[in-house]
C-alpha cells in the first residue's frame, strides 16, 4: 500500500510544531539521546518542550511528565528515542495524546528482519488509523531552521537548502560541507526506514516551503512505487524547486540474471536516471558534487543561456574550468567588440583579451581589476554567466610582509563587495572558485554574505553553472508541451510473486485485445490447417512452435522462416511436431503468420519497475541490441511526442532517418505502436514484462515479429 | 626537432645544484620577483646563492655580482627573472659563465606570437650548442625538497610526490592540496613553454630520483612527439614509479572536421587515453582526484588483489564508498568464518557482521573498536585492502562536554596509532575517509605520521584504492609479455604541410609494396581491358572509378558491385567513363577486382598523431562504425598479441567469435593485417592517414575492400 498525502498540513507538524514531547531523552552527553536532547533545547525553540519520563521527575531544568497524555494542551510533535521493546506502547501513548507527528529515532524494526517488519507494520497501521504521521523508525531526526527544531544531535547551520536523507551519517557529511562552505539548511529530514512517510511526500511538502530554495535528496532506493510518486509530485507541483538527488548506482547490478533483453537493458540504474530526467530532477554522481549543485541552485539567478565567461589567474585553472564546462554543455561566450575594448583598458597586453580572460598576474597585486573585469563581462549581452577561478580572497597571502598583506587584503575586500553588487544588479549567475574558498578569510565575507557560490574544487564551479543552465531549461519547458502524459496513479503490483511467460499466441491475443497492432496470424494444429492458413495468406509465411517449454524458440529450431510452398509447409509441420513431441507438449500448437518484408529491426520493451512503475523501452534491434545496448527508457504511459523523441535519439532512429543514402522510413506507425505498448503496460496490472523483439519497421509500417509477455 | 636526453645528469643541476645565480631578483615582497627571492633564500639552501645585478651592489644581506661570469667557481643553476628584452643577453652570460641549467621565469616568448617564437628558438639554439639546459621560458620555477631549492615564490611542504606541471597556478593549487591534506613534494617543476626541456625528460629524470615515490603531471598538450617519448620512457625505465597524469580533455574536439572515419574516431582525447594506458600511466579526470591518487600511490604498500573491506560509521557512507569502489573494479571481500567470529565478539548485533562492516554507533563512544576491527579484517587472507569511512578523529567533537571530549579523543589517538601499526605490520593498503579529514585534529596525527591516506571526500578513498590496484596490475604485467612492441624512435612528420589523398590504385600499390596483403586487382583503361580482366578473374567483380576528384566513390556512383557478366562489365564501363568525363578527369582509370565473399565488416585505420606518433585503429565496420564509434586505438607498431587484444575487445571481435549461433571466424589473418598496417604507418614517413574500410573478414581471410591513404 502506498501512502497518500491526504492532508499536507499534517506534515507541517514536523517543521513547525508548537509543542515537542521528547520521549527517552538522556542527560548523558556521551550518548546519542543526550546529544539529541541538547540540540533540541539548544535550538531556541519558541514553543514548549516537554520531556516524557516515567521515572525521573526532571531533565536538567525541564520538568518531566509521565505520559504524553499528561501534557497540557497536548503536543503536536513527539521525538521518540526509547529502547525498541518500549516503542509500541509509546506510539500508543502518542496517539492517545493527540500527537500529529512522531519522529521515531528508535531503531530495531524493518531493518532487522521479519519480526521487526511485523512490529513496524503494526506501528504504521496504528498511526494511519489515527491520522498520526510517523517519520522513521531509525530516523536520525529533523532540523527546521524557521521552526527552531533540531532533534538531530548536532549544530546545523541555517540556510535555504532543504535536505531529505535516507542516511543519518550523510546528514552529518552534508552538515560538514555546509560548515566548510558557509552554506546552510532550511530543514533536514532523515527518513530512516520510510515505514510511513515517504520521500515523495517530504519533497511535496518542501516544494511548498517558503524557506526552501532547493531540495537535496540522498536516496539509496525508493519504497515500492515511491519513485513514481516523486515523479508525479514534480510534474504536478504548483511551485517547482530544483531537486538534486544523490543515489549511489548499483555496481553489482550485473548479477541479476537478465530474463530478456528488456530486463537487462532496463537495469535499475538506467531506470532511475531516465525517470529522474523525466521528472526534471538533477542527479548528482558524487556526494560533494550534490551539495555544491544545491548551493548554486539555492542561491543563483536563472542561467538563461549556455554562454559563459571564464575569468582566471592563469592558464591551468582556465583550461580545466572551460573544459569541464564544455563537457557539461556550456560554451565560451564570444565577447562583444565593446567588451573587448573596455577590457583592453584594464588588462595588460600579455593577457590577450580573449575568453577565458586571464588576469596574467595583474590581480595578485591589483585585486580591484577583478571586479571591474567581471562587471564588464557580465554586462555583455552575449554572456549568460561568469565563473571566476583562481586565488581570489588569498592574493594577500602570497606575501609574508604584513603591510603589503593588509593593503592587498583591503583591495580584495572591496573587490569582493563590488563583485557581489554586480551580480545582484545584473541578475546573472556568478560563481567563484578559489584555492582559498574553504578558508575563513574575511576578504571573502562579502562573497559569502551575497550567497555567491564559492568553491575550492576547480571543476565544481563549471558543474554548478551547467546545473543552473539545465535547471533553467527544465523550468522553461515545464508545462510548455500541450501533449502531457497521462498521470499514472501509483499502485503496487505483486511482482514478487511467481511469474510465467505466455506463449506467443497468448501474448499476441493479449496485446491485440488492448488495441496494440499485431500482424495477422493463425494457430494451427495439423498440417492441413497449416496449408489452409498458408493459402489464405497467399504469400510466404513463418511457422513457430508454441510451447511453454521453449525459452528461445529460434535457437531450438522452433521457428521456420520464409516458407513459400505447400510442400515446405508440410515438411515444416512435420519437423515442428517432432520437436513438440520431444519437448513433451500435450498437443502441438503452431503459429503461422505471413513473412514481414525486410526493414530496420527495433526492439520495444516494457516492464513494471518496483520503484517507478510501468516503463517502456525503445532501441535498435537485431545485432545492435546485443552489441550496443542502445535504448531509451520512458515512464509509461508516454505521449506521442516522447515516443518520437525516444526513436529520434536511438541508433534505430538514425537508421530510420535514411542511413547511407537509403530512403527514410516514416516513424509514425512505430511511435503509435510505442504509445500503445506503453498504455498496455500501464493498464494491465498482471503484466510484468513485454518484449517485442524484433519489431520490423519498413515503408508499410511497424510490425511485431515476435512477442513475449511475462505475467503474474 | 625533438630533444634527446644525452646526459641525464645535466638535469640534476635543477634539483641538486651547488650554486644558484639569481638574475633579476627584486626586494619588493609585493612583486613576483621579490616573492621568489624570499623563497630561494628561505628554503635553507646549503650551497651558495648569488644575486646578479648590474646596478645594485647588494640584495638584503647578499652581495651581488654584475655578471654570472663574475661568480667564483661558477654557478650550476641560474634563475632568470629579467624583463623580456634583457633575456637573450642574460642567457649568453649564463652560457659564458658555465651554467648547466637555467630556470627561465621570464615570459614573453613562444606564447606571444611569431616574434616571440623566433626569440625562443634562438635562445634554445644557443643553449643546445653550449650543452646548457633550459627550463621554460614562462616557468613558474623549481622546488627540490632534498636539494633545498625553491624558486617558486611560496612555501612548499616536503614529501614523496614529484610534480611536473605546464601551469604555474596548478602548482599553486597542488600546494594548497598538499597543505590541506598533510602531503608534500619531493620536487615541483614548472615546465612553462617546454622550449628546451620536455615533459618526458623530466619524468625520465624523476623516475631515477630516490626521493620520489610517485609523479604527478599536469599537462595540457605534449610538444610534438613528446607524448610518444613519454611512452618510450615509461616502457624502458629501469625503476618504474606510478605516474598520474591530469590532462583536460578537449571538449571542442568535435570542431575538427573529420576527414575520414579514422580521423573522427581517433579524436585527440581518445588517443591520449589509449596511449597513456599503453604506457602504464594513470590518467585522472579531475584536479583533486589526481592529487588524491598521487597521495595514495606515493605512500601505500601494493594492493595485490581487488578485494576490499569497507568499514564505516553507517549505511550512507558504506553504500557510497562500496558503490564507487565497485564501479572502479574493486569487489567487497568475502570475510572468512574466523574473521566473522572475531568481529562478532566486538561489534553489537545490530551491525550485522557483514562487509561493509558497520560500527552502528559503537565507534562514537568506543573508538578503540575501530582499530581492533581493522586489524582483524586486515589479517583475513581474503582481504587485499581496507577503506574506513566515517567520522574517525572527530568522534570526540560530537559532544560539547569537555571531559567527555577529552576521554574520547584519547581513545581516538590510541586507535589511530593502532591503525598505523596494523597497516605497517600487515603491509596491505589502508585508506581513511573522515568528514574531519582536512581539519588539524591531533587525534589524526598518528594517521598522518604513518602516511596513511586520509581523505575528506567520500569517493576519494575508493578511487585511490582502485588506482593502487591498477598500478599493482601494471607493475605485475611490466615486462611479462615476451612479445614486446618494437620501439618507435620519435621523429617529427610534416603533418602541418599540405596533404593529398592517393587514388585507391596508388594506395593499394603502396600498401602491397610494404607487404600489406591487398586482394588482387587490375587497372583498366577501356571496356575491352575490363572484359579481359573479368575473364582472367573468372568470377564476379567490382569496378571502381579512380579519380582524385571523387571524395566518396560510392555515394557518386563511382563504385559498381557484383558484376557477373560481360554485358554488365561493358555497361558499367560506359557509366563510369561518363562519370569520369563529367568530373573532368584527363583519362579514365578503373580498378577492377573480384568480389569478396560476405563476412564481418571491420575497419582498420592508422594515423600519424602529432603528440604520440603513429597509431593504428581497429573497430567494427559497416553500419556499426558510424553508429557506435566502436574502436581500439594502439600505438604503432603493435605486436600480434596486442592486435588480438584490440580485436577481442571490439564489437567486431564479438561478431567474429560467432554471434547468435553463427560459426566463429579465425582472427589470425585479421591480426596479421593489423600488425602489417601498424608497421606500414610506423615506417612510411610521408603517410599521415590510412583508412581501410571495410575490411571483410570471412573464413578465407581478412580482405581489404577499400583503401585510402593520405600522404604529405
**Which chain B residue has its CA at the smallest distance from A42's CA?**
B400
B250 touches chain A (CB under 8 A): yes
**Which chain A residue has its CA at the smallest distance from B360's CA?**
A169
User: Is the model's pLDDT at A406 over the cut of 70?
Assistant: yes
Instruction: Please indicate whether, in this complex, the C-beta atoms of B251 and A326 are within 8 angstroms of each other.
Output: yes
Domain boundary among the residues B560, B594, B628 is at: B594
User: Is the model's pLDDT at A697 over the cut of 90?
Assistant: yes
User: Is the model's pLDDT at A211 over the cut of 90?
Assistant: yes
pLDDT tens, position by position, B40-69: 999 999 999 999 998 888 998 999 999 999
Q: What average pLDDT does range A16-40 have in this prediction?
A: 89
Share of chain A above pLDDT 70, in %: 93
A253, A268 contact by CB (below 8 A)? yes
Q: What is the CATH number of the domain that holds A427?
A: 3.40.50.261
Domain shared by A96 and A112, yes or no? yes
Helices B168-180 & B287-299 angle (0-180, nearest 10):
60
Instruction: Please indicate whether, in this complex, the C-beta atoms of B655 and A623 are within 8 angstroms of each other.
Output: yes
Please give the Cα distance from A269 to A254 (Å, whole number).
Answer: 11
Q: What are phi and psi of B603, to 5 degrees?
A: -125, 135
Least confident among A255-259, A576-580, B81-85, B486-490: A255-259
Q: Cell match 646563492: residue?
A: B49
Domain shared by B292 and B306, yes or no? no
Interface probe with B: pick from A28, A30, A631, most Cβ of B within 10 Å: A30
Domain shared by A176 and A109, yes or no? yes
User: Is the model's pLDDT at A264 over the cut of 50?
Assistant: no
Interface probe with A: pick from B169, B329, B693, most Cβ of A within 10 Å: B169
User: Is the model's pLDDT at B8 over the cut of 70?
Assistant: no
Q: What average pLDDT does range B490-495 have in this prediction?
A: 64
Q: A184 falls in which pLDDT band (50, 70, 90)?
A: very high
Instruction: Please indicate whether, in this complex, the C-beta atoms of B167 and A315 are within 8 angstroms of each other.
Output: yes
pLDDT tens, position by position, B642-657: 999 999 988 888 889 8
Least confident among A135-139, A383-387, A627-631: A627-631
How close B173 gets to chain A, by Cα (Å)? 6
Chain A residues in contact with B181 (beta carbon < 8 A): none
Residue A244 lies in a domain: yes
pLDDT tens, position by position, A278-312: 999 999 999 999 999 999 999 999 999 999 999 99
Instruction: Please indicate whether, in this complex, the C-beta atoms of A317 and B660 are within 8 angstroms of each other.
Output: no
Q: What's the pLDDT score for residue B251? A: 63
How close A400 gets to chain B, by Cα (Å)? 7
Q: Which three cell numbers stand for residue A16?
A: 513547525
Chain B residues in contact with A327 (beta carbon < 8 A): 249, 251
Residues 6+ apart with CB under 8 A from B552: none
Whether omega before B137 lies within 30 degrees of 0, making that bond cis, reads yes
Q: What's the pLDDT score for residue B659? A: 72
The separation between CA B609 and the C-alpha centre of its own chain, rounded to angstroms, equals 15
Please give the Cα distance from B489 to A553 (Å, whole number).
Answer: 57
User: Is the model's pLDDT at A254 over the cut of 60?
Assistant: no
Instruction: Please indicate whether, in this complex, the C-beta atoms of B651 and A627 are within 8 angstroms of each other.
Output: yes
A440 touches chain B (CB under 8 A): no
Residue A482 lies in a domain: no
Please give the Cα distance from B614 to B677 (Å, whole number).
Answer: 10
Domain shared by B334 and B290, yes or no? no
How close B639 gets to chain A, by Cα (Å)? 27
Q: Cell match 530516523: residue?
A: A139
Q: What's the pLDDT score for residue B431? A: 98
**Which chain B residue has its CA at the smallest distance from A654's CA?**
B627
Instruction: Please indicate whether, in this complex, the C-beta atoms of A320 and B248 are within 8 angstroms of each other.
Output: yes
Q: What average pLDDT does range B480-503 have in this prediction?
A: 71
A551 touches chain B (CB under 8 A): no
CA angle (B319 as vertex; B315, B320 as ends), nearest 5: 120
| Strands in B514-641 per DSSP E | 522-524, 541-546, 559-563, 589-594, 600-609, 613-620, 632-635
Please give the Cα distance from B146 to B158 (Å, whole number).
Answer: 9
Domain shared by B194 and B164, yes or no? yes
Residue A679 lies in a domain: yes
Q: What's the pLDDT score for residue A374? A: 98
**Nearest CB to B35; choose among A220, A350, A398:** A398
Residue A418 lies in a domain: yes
Beta strands B701-704; B687-698: pairing state: antiparallel
Q: A495 falls in which pLDDT band (50, 70, 90)?
A: low
Residue A350 belongs to domain spanning: 302-477
**Nearest CB to B249; choose among A251, A287, A323:** A323
Q: Cell match 605534449: residue?
A: B222
Q: What average pLDDT does range A60-86 have in this prediction?
A: 95
Q: B261 falls in which pLDDT band (50, 70, 90)?
A: very low
Other beta carbons less than 10 A from residue B485's beta carbon: 19
Residue A94 lies in a domain: yes
Share of chain B above pLDDT 90, in %: 75
Q: What's the pLDDT score for residue B2? A: 32
DSSP secondary structure of A192-229: TT-SSS-HHHHHHHHHT-TT-SEEEEE-S-PPTTHHHH
Q: B252 falls in which pLDDT band (50, 70, 90)?
A: low
Residue A490 lies in a domain: no
Please give the Cα distance from B23 to B562 (Å, whole number).
Answer: 76
How close A370 gets to chain B, by Cα (Å)? 17
**Which chain A residue has its CA at the smallest distance from B332's CA?**
A252
Q: What is the CATH number of the domain that holds A586?
A: 3.30.1490.20
Domain shared by A334 and A287, yes or no? no
Domain shared by B327 and B292, yes or no? no
Beta strands A307-312; A385-390: pairing state: parallel
Other beta carbons less than 10 A from residue B2's beta carbon: 15
Q: For every residue of A240-251, which 3-state class applies, written as one string?
A: CCCEEEECCCCC
Q: Cell match 559532544: residue?
A: B399
Please give the Cα distance from B260 to A470 (Å, whole number).
Answer: 34
Domain shared by B565 and B420, yes or no? no
Please give the Cα distance from A677 to A683 (Å, whole number).
Answer: 10
Q: Which three cell numbers stand for residue B610?
A: 602529432
**Nearest CB to A459; choose among B286, B390, B660:** B286
Domains in chain B, number: 4
B255 touches chain A (CB under 8 A): no
User: Is the model's pLDDT at A8 over the cut of 60?
Assistant: no
A334 touches chain B (CB under 8 A): no
Q: How far is CA B272 from CA B1, B100, B225, B669, in A?
A: 21, 33, 12, 28
Q: What average pLDDT does range B603-620 have in this prediction?
A: 93
Domain shared by B231 and B149, yes or no? yes
Domain shared by A152 and A283, yes or no? yes
Domain shared by A364 and A229, yes or no? no
Q: A7 falls in which pLDDT band (50, 70, 90)?
A: very low
Instruction: Please indicate whether, in this complex, the C-beta atoms of B35 and A399 are within 8 angstroms of each other.
Output: yes
Q: What's the pLDDT score for residue A249? A: 72
User: Is the model's pLDDT at B497 over the cut of 60?
Assistant: yes
Domain boundary among the residues A256, A276, A296 is at: A296
Q: What's the pLDDT score for residue B7? A: 43
Chain B residues in contact with A38 (beta carbon < 8 A): 400
Least confident among A159-163, A351-355, B73-77: A351-355
pLDDT tens, position by position, B421-440: 999 999 999 999 999 998 99
Residue B494 lies in a domain: no
CA-based nearest residue to A78, from A63, A89, A91: A91
Other beta carbons less than 10 A from residue B581's beta carbon: 10
Q: What is the CATH number of the domain that holds A648?
A: 3.30.470.20
**Which chain A residue has its CA at the smallest distance from B404's CA?**
A30
Least confident among A581-585, A643-647, B505-509, B685-689: A581-585
Instruction: Please indicate whether, in this complex, the C-beta atoms of A399 and B435 are within 8 angstroms of each other.
Output: no
Q: What average pLDDT does range A421-439 have in this prediction?
A: 96
pLDDT tens, position by position, A539-563: 999 999 998 777 666 667 889 999 9
> For residue B158, what are the β-bridge partners?
B185
A600, A696 contact by CB (below 8 A)? yes
User: Is the model's pLDDT at B596 over the cut of 90?
Assistant: yes
Q: How far is CA B53 from CA B80, B147, B216, in A?
A: 11, 24, 35
Least confident among A578-587, A691-700, B436-445, B462-471: A578-587
A154 touches chain B (CB under 8 A): yes
User: Is the model's pLDDT at A430 over the cut of 70?
Assistant: yes
Burial of A123 (0-12, 13-18, 19+ CB in 10 A): buried
Q: What is the mean pLDDT of chain A?
A: 90
Question: Burial letters for B148-184: b for 16+ Cβ neighbours within 10 Å, e otherwise?
Answer: bbbbbbbebebbbbbbbbbbbbbbbbbbbbbebbbbb
Task: Output the pTM of the full model.
Answer: 0.93
Q: What's the pLDDT score for residue B55? A: 86
Q: What average pLDDT does range A376-382 have in this prediction?
A: 98
Residue A508 lies in a domain: no
Q: What's the pLDDT score for residue B33? A: 85
B167 touches chain A (CB under 8 A): yes
Q: B148 falls in which pLDDT band (50, 70, 90)?
A: very high
**Which chain B residue has its CA at the smallest distance from A172's CA?**
B435
**Which chain A residue has its CA at the smallest distance from B433's CA?**
A173
How close B70 gets to chain A, by Cα (Å)? 31
Q: What average pLDDT does range B383-393 have in this prediction?
A: 97
User: Is the model's pLDDT at B635 over the cut of 80?
Assistant: yes
CB < 8 Å from B in window 398-427 of A: 398-401, 404, 408
CB < 8 Å from B in window 594-623 of A: 620, 623
Please give the Cα distance from B158 to A114 (Å, whole number).
Answer: 56
Give one word for B482, left, alpha or beta, with left for phi > 0 and alpha for psi -120 to 50: alpha
Domain shared by B33 and B129, yes or no? yes
Q: What's the pLDDT score for residue A389? A: 96
CA-based nearest residue to B30, from A369, A408, A346: A408
Give one word for B563, left, alpha or beta, with left for phi > 0 and alpha for psi -120 to 50: beta
B689, B608 contact by CB (below 8 A)? yes
Q: A479 falls in which pLDDT band (50, 70, 90)?
A: low
A250 touches chain B (CB under 8 A): yes
Q: B557 falls in which pLDDT band (50, 70, 90)?
A: confident
**Which chain A residue has its CA at the smallest distance from B152's CA?**
A398
Q: Cell match 513547525: residue?
A: A16
CB < 8 Å from A in window 17-46 of B: 29-32, 34-35, 38
User: Is the model's pLDDT at A352 over the cut of 90?
Assistant: no
Q: Which three cell numbers stand for residue A51?
A: 520531556
**Nearest CB to A314; choose among B169, B251, B326:** B169
**Which chain A residue has its CA at the smallest distance from B167's CA?**
A316
Share of chain A above pLDDT 90, in %: 75
B660 touches chain A (CB under 8 A): yes
Q: B31 falls in which pLDDT band (50, 70, 90)?
A: confident
> For residue A246, what are the β-bridge partners?
A218, A284
Domain boundary among the residues B249, B275, B296 is at: B296
DSSP secondary structure of B402-470: HHHHHHHHHHHHHHHHHHHHHHHHHTS-EEEEETTTTS--GGGHHHHHTT--EESSHHHHHHHHHHHHH
Instruction: Please indicate whether, in this complex, the C-beta atoms of B173 and A399 are within 8 angstroms of each other.
Output: no
Chain A residues in contact with B315 (beta carbon < 8 A): 166-169, 220
Amino acid at each position: 500500500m502506498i501512502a497518500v498525502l491526504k492532508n499536507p498540513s499534517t506534515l507541517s507538524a514536523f517543521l513547525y510544531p508548537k509543542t515537542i514531547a521528547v520521549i527517552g531523552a538522556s542527560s548523558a552527553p556521551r550518548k546519542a539521546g543526550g546529544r539529541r536532547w541538547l540540540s533540541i533545547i539548544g535550538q531556541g525553540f519558541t514553543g514548549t518542550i516537554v520531556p516524557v519520563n516515567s521515572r525521573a521527575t526532571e531533565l536538567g531544568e525541564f520538568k518531566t511528565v509521565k505520559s504524553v497524555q499528561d501534557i497540557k494542551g497536548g503536543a503536536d510533535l513527539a521525538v521518540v528515542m526509547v529502547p525498541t521493546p518500549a516503542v509500541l506502547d509509546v506510539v500508543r501513548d502518542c496517539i492517545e495524546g493527540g500527537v500529529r507527528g512522531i519522529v521515531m529515532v528508535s531503531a530495531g524494526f524493518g531493518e532487522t528482519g521479519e519480526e521487526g517488519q511485523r512490529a513496524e507494520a503494526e506501528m504504521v497501521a496504528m498511526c494511519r488509523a489515527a491520522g498520526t504521521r510517523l517519520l522513521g523508525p531509525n530516523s536520525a531526526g529533523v532540523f527546521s531552521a524557521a521552526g527552531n527544531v533540531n532533534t538531530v544531535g548536532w549544530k546545523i547551520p541555517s540556510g535555504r537548502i532543504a535536505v531529505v536523507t535516507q542516511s543519518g551519517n550523510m546528514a552529518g557529511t552534508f552538515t560538514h560541507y555546509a560548515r566548510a562552505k558557509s552554506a546552510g539548511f532550511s530543514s533536514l529530514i532523515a527518513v530512516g526506514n520510510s515505514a510511513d512517510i515517504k520521500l515523495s511526500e517530504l519533497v511535496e511538502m518542501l516544494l511548498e516551503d517558503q524557506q526552501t530554495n532547493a531540495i537535496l535528496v540522498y536516496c539509496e532506493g525508493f519504497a515500492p512505487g515511491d519513485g513514481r510518486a516523486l515523479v508525479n509530485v514534480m510534474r504536478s507541483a504548483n511551485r517547482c524547486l530544483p531537486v538534486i538527488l544523490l543515489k549511489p548506482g548499483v555496481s553489482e547490478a550485473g548479477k541479476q540474471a537478465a530474463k530478456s533483453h528488456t530486463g537487462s537493458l532496463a537495469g535499475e540504474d538506467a531506470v532511475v536516471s531516465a525517470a529522474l530526467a523525466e521528472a526534471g530532477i538533477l542527479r548528482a554522481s558524487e556526494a560533494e558534487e550534490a551539495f555544491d549543485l544545491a548551493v548554486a541552485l539555492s542561491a543563483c539567478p536563472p542561467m538563461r543561456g549556455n554562454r559563459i565567461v571564464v575569468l582566471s589567474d592563469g592558464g591551468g585553472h582556465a583550461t580545466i574550468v572551460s573544459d569541464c564546462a564544455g563537457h557539461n554543455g556550456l560554451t565560451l561566450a564570444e565577447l562583444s567588440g565593446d567588451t573587448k575594448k573596455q577590457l583592453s583598458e584594464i588588462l595588460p597586453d600579455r593577457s590577450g583579451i580573449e575568453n577565458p580572460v586571464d588576469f596574467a598576474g595583474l590581480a595578485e597585486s591589483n585585486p580591484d581589476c577583478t571586479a571591474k573585469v567581471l562587471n564588464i563581462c557580465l554586462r555583455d549581452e552575449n554572456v549568460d554567466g561568469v565563473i571566476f577561478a583562481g586565488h581570489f580572497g588569498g592574493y594577500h597571502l602570497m606575501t609574508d610582509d604584513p603591510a603589503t598583506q593588509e593593503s592587498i587584503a583591503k583591495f580584495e575586500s572591496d573587490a569582493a563587495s563590488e563583485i557581489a553588487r554586480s551580480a545582484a544588479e545584473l541578475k546573472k549567475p556568478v560563481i567563484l572558485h578559489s584555492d582559498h574558498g574553504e578558508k575563513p578569510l574575511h576578504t571573502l565575507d562579502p562573497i559569502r554574505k551575497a550567497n555567491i557560490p564559492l568553491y575550492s574544487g576547480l571543476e565544481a564551479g563549471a558543474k554548478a553553472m551547467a546545473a543552473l543552465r539545465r535547471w533553467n531549461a527544465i523550468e522553461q519547458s515545464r508545462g510548455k508541451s500541450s501533449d502531457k502524459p497521462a498521470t499514472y496513479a501509483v499502485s503496487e503490483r505483486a511482482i514478487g510473486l511467481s511469474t510465467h511467460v505466455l506463449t506467443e499466441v497468448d501474448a499476441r491475443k493479449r496485446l491485440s485485445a488492448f488495441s496494440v497492432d499485431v500482424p495477422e496470424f493463425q494457430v494451427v494444429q495439423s498440417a492441413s490447417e497449416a496449408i489452409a492458413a498458408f493459402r489464405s495468406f497467399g504469400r510466404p509465411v513463418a511457422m513457430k512452435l508454441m510451447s511453454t517449454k521453449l525459452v528461445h524458440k529460434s535457437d531450438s529450431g522452433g521457428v521456420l522462416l520464409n516458407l513459400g510452398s505447400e510442400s515446405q509447409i508440410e515438411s515444416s509441420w512435420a519437423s515442428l511436431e517432432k520437436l513438440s513431441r520431444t519437448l513433451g507438449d500435450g498437443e502441438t500448437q503452431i503459429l503461422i503468420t505471413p513473412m514481414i518484408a525486410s526493414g530496420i529491426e527495433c526492439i520495444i520493451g516494457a516492464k513494471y519497475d518496483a520503484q517507478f512503475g510501468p516503463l517502456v523501452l525503445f532501441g535498435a534491434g537485431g545485432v545492435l541490441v546485443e552489441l550496443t545496448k542502445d535504448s531509451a527508457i520512458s515512464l509509461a504511459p508516454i505521449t506521442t511526442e516522447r515516443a518520437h523523441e525516444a526513436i529520434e535519439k536511438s541508433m534505430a532512429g538514425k537508421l530510420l532517418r535514411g542511413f547511407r543514402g537509403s530512403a527514410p522510413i516514416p516513424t509514425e506507425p512505430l511511435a503509435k505502436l510505442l504509445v500503445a505498448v506503453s498504455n498496455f503496460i500501464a493498464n494491465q496490472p498482471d503484466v510484468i514484462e513485454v518484449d517485442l523483439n524484433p519489431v520490423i519497421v519498413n515503408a508499410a509500417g511497424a510490425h511485431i515479429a515476435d512477442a513475449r509477455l511475462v505475467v503474474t
